[in-house]
Amino acid sequence: MVPQTGSSHAARVLGLTGGIATGKSTVSAILSDRAAIVDADRLAREVVEPGQEAWREIVELFGREALREDDTLDRAYLRGIVFKDPDSRKRLEAITHPRIRALARRRIVERSRDAEFVIYDAPLLFEARIHHWLRPVILVACARDTQARRLRRRDGLDDAGIERHLKAQMSLAEKRRLADFVIENDGTLADLKNTVARVWEDVEATSPARYIFLQTDPPESGHRSE
């Protein structure tokens, strides 16, 4: 890895990601007293607020059927479209991802001014190739049967629905290969807190020279990053 690049701040910036029903949001909450959190999901909502440029482009692409009565995006409607139509998903991502990426970098720099560590919490971190400009990355993972059990309990999915949701994402096996740190979350909340504490000790022991935060995309990253 190369030294953190593109800014003068001294904070160490790292990524946090997971898979569906692995417990990433719980880990993010646990880590919020150790690091400043920049949440990609919140940024994604911010860039598509009514009247924003991305909002206008989405309405132009999908029609006013994609809006709720208060003119905010109907996320359930859009999810239904992009889950079935990869081309629509790509067009939606082409509108939102560059704006999320730019806003994320600004927020990371802002939070770095008064924090020792800044975590960019992004569910599609590897899919969006964010790891090409931000390292190291913590992955929250679990066994496949644990994912299935949680999806069945949380979302009421049957076996076929669970399989569709899991196949729609990059596999946890592939994410484990890409991650720098892995938090396995198959036990209780107390187990998870202990695991997070152990992994965080490794994070703190990692040399600052091994952190990467680029404010421009490297050529190999393409234009898919959030």
- With respect to residue 187, please indicate whether it lies within any of the assigned structural domains: yes
Please report whether residue 83 resides in a domain.
no
8 A C-beta contact, residue 106 and residue 118: no
Q: Looking at residue 192, which CATH number applies to its domain?
A: 3.40.50.300
pLDDT band at residue 197 using 50, 70 and 90 as cut-offs:
very high
pLDDT in tens, 126-175: 998 999 999 999 999 999 999 999 999 888 888 888 888 888 889 999 99
Given a cut of 50, whether residue 223 has pLDDT beyond it is no
Q: CA angle, corner 202, sides to 200 and 206, nearest 5?
A: 115
- Residue scoring higher pLDDT (190 or 80): 190
Among the listed residues 12, 23, 2, the one whose alpha carbon sits nearest the alpha carbon of residue 150: 23
Report if residue 160 sits inside a domain: yes
Residue 80, domain member (yes or no): no
Residues 6 or more apart whose CB falls under 8 angstroms from that of 134 comprise 13, 14, 15, 120, 212, 213, 214
Range 178-196 average pLDDT: 98
* 127 in a structural domain: yes
CA atoms within 13 A on the CB side of 71: 6
- Work out whether strand 181-184 and strand 137-141 pair parallel, antiparallel, or are unpaired: parallel
What pLDDT shows up at residue 7? 45
pLDDT in tens, 92-117: 999 999 999 999 999 999 999 999 99
Is position 35 within any domain? yes
Using alpha carbons, select from 12, 17, 41, 15 the residue that is nearest to residue 133: 15
d(CA 78, CA 109): 31
Task: Please report whether residue 17 resides in a domain.
Answer: yes
User: What do you get for the CA distance between the two ends of the chain, in Å?
Assistant: 21
pLDDT tens-digit series, residues 27-81? 999 999 999 999 999 999 999 999 999 999 999 999 999 999 999 999 999 988 9
Q: Is 0.75 surpassed by the pTM of this model?
A: yes
Q: What is the domain range of residue 37? A: 12-44+99-221
Within a domain: residue 226? Answer: no
Say how many domains are in the chain.
1
